[in-house]
Amino acid sequence: MIPAKINPISITPKREKGVESILDWFDQHKQSFYTLGWSFLRNQKQVEELFYRSIIKVHRELPRFKNESSFETWVTSIFIHTCRELSYDRSLQASEGIESRPVLFKALDQLKEDEKEAMVLTYVKKISQEETAKLLQVSVEKLKELLFSGIQSLRKEMGYGLHIGGCKEYRKDYIDYLERTLERSKKIEFEIHIYHCQDCQEDLASFQDVMLTMLNLTEKMEDFHVPSDFIENVKAMLAEKEKNKQLKIRKRMRLGMVLAGVFALLMGNEVVTGAFKSLYYTMTEKNQELRAFLQQGLGERLNLQAESDGVKIKIKSAISDEFQTLVFYEIEDTDEDNQYVMNIDEGVSVENQNEIMNGSANPRYYPPDLKSEVNIKGKNVYQGKISLPPISKDKGTIKLKITKLLKLIHDSSNRNRLRVSDNMEYKTGEWNFEVPVTKQRSVEYALDGEKEVEGIPVRFDKLTIAPTATILQYSIKNDQLKKRIDALSFDNLVVNNKKMKPDLYGGSFLNPLQDMNWSTFQINFGPIFGEEPKEVNVQLQSINLTIENKKTIELDAAKKYPQTFEYAGSTISIDKLEVGVSTNMVISNHEVKNRAYESLQFDIIGENENHPDSIEMESEGVLVDKNGVIYDMNVTPFSYEEIEQPRYYVTVQRMKLQNNNTGKKMIPKRMEINGYNTTRYLDDVVKISLE
């Protein structure tokens, strides 16, 4: 029978401690979370990134932890959510195209997302069914259905075939019976039926085989090696975050800056009944973006104020819809000539977030507005906005708490250039607000547009015009084995002759419950006020593709290296293959002109058809812009933001292969290339009429 599962340990760190205490906690629990991360992700770098992001989020959300579940379960929920984000993070996957995980993890990849999460949390993380159901926000009965269908799918992968021979009314009891949780009366009835039904006997036996195999493999995962430098690498990432925060803010600011010029168009579109309101706000509100919302009646002036240590914060207004809550603010230093900005990642929290806000929605990122005339000319005043999650009710009051502000300075060489202070200086204090908000209405329009891109259908499903954004929902049909679209980029969206640029931080993967051959996404553009769309033009920019192109390269450590082979029109060099306690392998291709691939997807197979237990990989590469100009990231000084549609080509991949569990040397016998990633530029325009 199946052994009972282990419930998670409940440990709650002291809230007054910082990121270091969270890192220490993860260090103590690294084995189970490391294995959990590998269940979803493809390589070591992604798992390190997963730990790094999870630690940051746990630290940020810690004030809202209310002991309603164990601390470990609460952390696991954040960890799983971060896994989902990284699973669809193109930047991490594009430069790391190798999959080097144990067989069980690869088998789990064949499952549907909800089945996989249910299986991993229940059998890999060994969380109770009740806690797992709570984490996945489903009922226990629904969880059992997911576990059952997941095991059925694995059963197919293990060669039992598609046929299910057991009686339908008894299949629902398989898991409870095998886990010895089936109540006595049902157990007796079940065993009597099984005794007389050979089909159910055979069906239950194969089901149990798969379940036992799953548990046996996951028990071995407890010895799944965590590299000795793993936590140190995560710690270095945290240190780098603190050290280079200024550079990151600059980069995000330049990439994410969305001009508010569209609001100037409103002046020519006022109806008579709104003329007085328009004139009033034109004369009294300097913030052009906020002025447009107020003129449309989408918010109201609040002028809430709080002061701490000579710094006064004013909440000017808040506009909420189903996608986000925009909070417009002004910060004034009443004692000195300093300017400060709110940083949503640090020092900003909503004390009643669980009660009033949609917990499944992520706030959008808006970089500091360092180019507005008001802020450039100001000496002690800054005007800005932050995005919070949307409210879950029609009306409510947000309990907003500010404890830290980021300092801005004027460049000494150019007084008209505002930037973040060199040493990331902060102003601490406590500013508390009760902000009333009303959720504004959004309007959805069904679209009927479809276009083939590289032979793959792309469907445009829906346009949503919300007060704070215009959202385009689209789907990609990825049922081809030879080619699939991993990411689609847009140049602009034109609605009724008004052009909007995409929000680089406003896209997301939706995965609604519909045809599994289609993957559904949404991308955010700027807002359009009072518009009823008649025609929508979508300008495509580029796609990132995965191309299946299989090739097997035989490896022999006894040969002298380098050795070369041909693939996808390129000559690739195996520079090194040295077998030892750790087997070192290096492949390279420095020729990127007209190269078909940007990164490879491959596996290394050893003796007895085994895969290495772990692969540590480092890569080097260059950026190539749309015009073919090459930028060496280690040599050539350049500004990434100024490169036109850059592509990242991997030129060198260094691998360290180990058999940690067996203790035997990893002797590579062949390299199996499954395919490659590449980017194609587009100039297609999709025209969709709504009339």
The pLDDT tens digits for 91-143 are 455 444 444 555 666 667 777 888 888 888 888 778 888 888 888 888 888 88
Residues 552 and 619 in one domain: yes
Residues 641 and 573 in one domain: yes
CA distance linking residue 670 with residue 520, whole number of Å = 37
E strands within 454-597? 456-465, 470-477, 483-495, 498-500, 508-509, 518-525, 535-554, 563-567, 570-578, 583-588
Q: What is the pLDDT of residue 98?
A: 43
Residues 65 and 151 in one domain: yes
Closest by Cα among 289, 348, 279 to 60: 348
How many structural domains does the chain have?
4
Look at residue 8 and tell me if it is in a domain: no
Report whether pLDDT(636) > 80. Answer: no
Query: CA geometry: angle at 365 spanning 358 and 620, to 5°?
Result: 120
Residues 113 and 204 in one domain: yes
Residues 576 and 459 in one domain: no
Where does the pLDDT of residue 650 fall: very low under 50, low under 70, confident under 90, or very high at 90 and above? very high
Residues 253 and 213 in one domain: no
Residues 434 and 486 in one domain: no
Residues 421 and 276 in one domain: yes
Name the domain boundary from 392, 417, 438: 438
Mean pLDDT of 12-38: 76
Mean pLDDT of 38-45: 81
Name the domain boundary from 438, 462, 486: 438
Determine how many CB atoms are found less than 10 A away from the CB of residue 565: 15
Closest by Cα among 159, 195, 684, 121 to 450: 684
Closest by Cα among 292, 303, 226 to 264: 292
Look at residue 6 and tell me if it is in a domain: no
Look at residue 4 and tell me if it is in a domain: no
- CA distance between the termini of the chain: 63
Residues 532 and 556 in one domain: no
Q: How far is CA 378 from the centre of its chain?
A: 37
Q: What would the two tokens of residue 488 be?
A: 């689609």
The pLDDT tens digits for 342-352 are 988 789 999 99
Name the domain boundary from 385, 416, 438: 438
Cβ pair 575, 632 in contact under 8 A: no
Look at residue 236 and tell me if it is in a domain: no
Q: What is the pLDDT of residue 94?
A: 43
Residues 297 and 429 in one domain: yes
Exposure string for 20-48, b = 16+ CB within 10 A, e = fewer = eebbebbeebbebbbbbbbbbbbbbbbbb
Look at residue 212 and tell me if it is in a domain: yes
Q: What would the two tokens of residue 622 be?
A: 């260059």
Q: What would the two tokens of residue 197 be?
A: 């039904």
Look at residue 141 and tell me if it is in a domain: yes
Where does the pLDDT of residue 89 fall: very low under 50, low under 70, confident under 90, or very high at 90 and above? low
Determine how many CB atoms are found less than 10 A away from the CB of residue 596: 12
Residue 611 DSSP code? P
The pLDDT tens digits for 225-282 are 788 888 888 888 887 776 665 554 444 444 433 323 333 333 344 433 455 556 666 6
The pLDDT tens digits for 391-425 are 998 999 999 999 999 998 876 666 567 777 767 88
Query: CA geometry: angle at 140 spanning 137 and 146, to 5°?
Result: 80
What range does the domain containing 381 cover?
244-438
Look at residue 2 and tell me if it is in a domain: no
Look at residue 235 and tell me if it is in a domain: no
Mean pLDDT of 584-611: 91
Q: What is the pLDDT of residue 215?
A: 67
**What sign does the dihedral 375-380-383-384 (CA atoms) show?**
positive
CA distance linking residue 107 with residue 153, whole number of Å = 9
The pLDDT tens digits for 142-196 are 888 888 888 877 777 666 554 556 787 777 788 788 878 888 888 888 888 887 8
> pTM for the whole thing?
0.57
The pLDDT tens digits for 484-527 are 998 899 999 999 888 888 886 666 777 655 566 788 888 989 88
Where does the pLDDT of residue 68 fall: very low under 50, low under 70, confident under 90, or very high at 90 and above? low
CA dihedral 495, 500, 504, 505 (to 10 degrees): -70
Report whether pLDDT(366) > 90. Answer: no
Cβ pair 648, 623 in contact under 8 A: yes
Residues 485 and 602 in one domain: no
Residues 276 and 220 in one domain: no
